[in-house]
C-alpha cells in the first residue's frame, strides 16, 4: 500500500516513453490514472515501480496487449449513417417483396 508507481505511454513497444502520471498504490495494490490520447492510433503502456525495502525494482510493458484508440463519431454523422443503413434496408425489403 502506498507504493510509488509511474505510468508511461508510447506509440511502439520500445519507446520513447512519455510520462502519463505518477502516484501511489491503494490498499489493494492498485493505481489508477486518467489519460486522453493525443491522437488516434495504437498505444503501449509501461508501469514502473522503483522498489522499496521489501520489493525490488519492477517494470512491465503492455505489449502485445496494446490499446487502439478509435475516434468518436459525432452524433450527426452517426444519425446520417443510421439513416443510410435504414434506407438501404427498406430498398432491399421492397425488392424482395416484389419478387415474391
Burial class of residue 43 in the structure, from the number of CB atoms within 10 Å of its CB (0-12 exposed, 13-18 middle, 19+ buried)? buried
CA distances (Å), origin 71, targets 16, 33, 51, 66, 100: 24, 21, 37, 16, 43
Domain hosting 31: range is 1-69
- The answer on 82 and 61 residing in a single domain is no
- Judge contact between 1 and 44, C-beta under 8 A: no
Tell me: pLDDT of 66 over 60: no
Residues 89 and 63 in one domain: no
pLDDT, tens digit (0-9, with 9 covering 90-100), for 8-36: 998 887 889 999 999 888 888 788 888 88
Statement to judge: residues 43 and 79 lie in one domain: no
Answer yes or no: is pLDDT of 6 > 80.
Answer: yes
59 in the same domain as 15: yes
Q: What pTM did the predictor assign?
A: 0.59
Distance of alpha carbon 72 from the chain centroid: 12
Q: Is 82 found in the same domain as 46?
A: no
Q: Are residues 19 and 62 in the same domain?
A: yes
Q: Are residues 79 and 90 in the same domain?
A: yes
Burial class (CB in 10 A: 0-12, 13-18, 19+), 14: exposed
Do residue 30 and residue 53 come from a single domain? yes
- Number of domains the chain contains: 2
Amino acid at each position: 500500500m502506498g507504493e510509488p508507481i509511474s505510468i508511461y505511454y508510447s506509440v511502439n513497444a520500445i519507446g520513447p516513453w512519455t510520462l502519463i502520471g505518477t502516484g501511489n498504490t491503494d490498499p489493494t495494490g492498485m493505481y489508477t490514472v486518467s489519460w486522453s490520447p493525443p491522437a488516434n492510433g495504437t498505444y503501449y503502456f509501461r508501469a514502473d515501480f522503483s522498489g522499496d525495502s521489501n520489493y525490488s525494482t519492477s517494470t512491465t510493458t503492455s505489449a502485445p496487449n496494446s490499446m487502439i484508440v478509435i475516434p468518436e463519431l459525432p452524433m450527426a454523422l452517426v444519425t446520417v449513417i443510421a439513416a443510410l443503413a435504414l434506407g438501404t434496408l427498406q430498398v432491399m425489403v421492397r425488392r424482395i417483396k416484389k419478387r415474391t
